[in-house]
């Protein structure tokens, strides 16, 4: 869901090893430029990886992405190759290719 200039995503650690989600955007007129943002999740015993792939020619409409993590107690986080602070199980970042979280899985809820 988009909230102004920030895309807000709630990421739930999947029960299975992988999961995915998509966000479609366009100018709202049904013609012309479009984009499809695909988010792939991969879960291991104590880590969660999110990969972001983008398609289309419509510019990313938001300045930042805020990710709320559920089902994992985040202890360490990396955005692409940079180690970052994750406070209250949330990250606020610009566009990324991959986020890797290290932590304890707290729930099997999807």
Task: Calculate the CA 104 to chain-centre distance.
Answer: 18
CA distances from 93 to 6, 11, 31, 99 (A): 10, 14, 30, 10
Q: pLDDT digit string (tens) for 67-85?
A: 999 999 999 999 999 999 9
At 3 the pLDDT is: 42
CA distances from 13 to 51, 75, 88 (A): 14, 14, 16
Do residues 25 and 61 lie in contact, with contact meaning Cβ atoms separated by under 8 Å?
Answer: yes
Q: pLDDT digit string (tens) for 21-63?
A: 999 988 888 788 999 999 999 999 899 999 999 999 999 888 8
Please say if the pLDDT value at position 1 is more than 70: no
Say which DSSP state 60 is in: P
Count other Cβ atoms within 10 Å, centred on residue 29.
Answer: 6
- The model carries a pTM of 0.85
């Amino acid at each position: 869901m988009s909230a102004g200039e920030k895309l807000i995503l709630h990421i739930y650690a999947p029960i299975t090893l992988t999961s995915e989600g998509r966000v479609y955007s366009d100018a709202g007129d049904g013609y012309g430029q479009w984009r499809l943002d695909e988010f792939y999740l991969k879960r291991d015993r104590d880590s969660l990886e999110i990969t972001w792939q983008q398609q289309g020619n419509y510019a990313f409409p938001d300045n930042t992405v805020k990710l709320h993590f559920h089902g994992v107690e985040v202890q360490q986080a990396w955005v692409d190759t940079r180690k970052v602070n994750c406070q209250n199980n949330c990250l606020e970042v610009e566009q990324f290719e991959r986020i890797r979280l290290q932590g304890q899985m707290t729930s099997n809820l999807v």
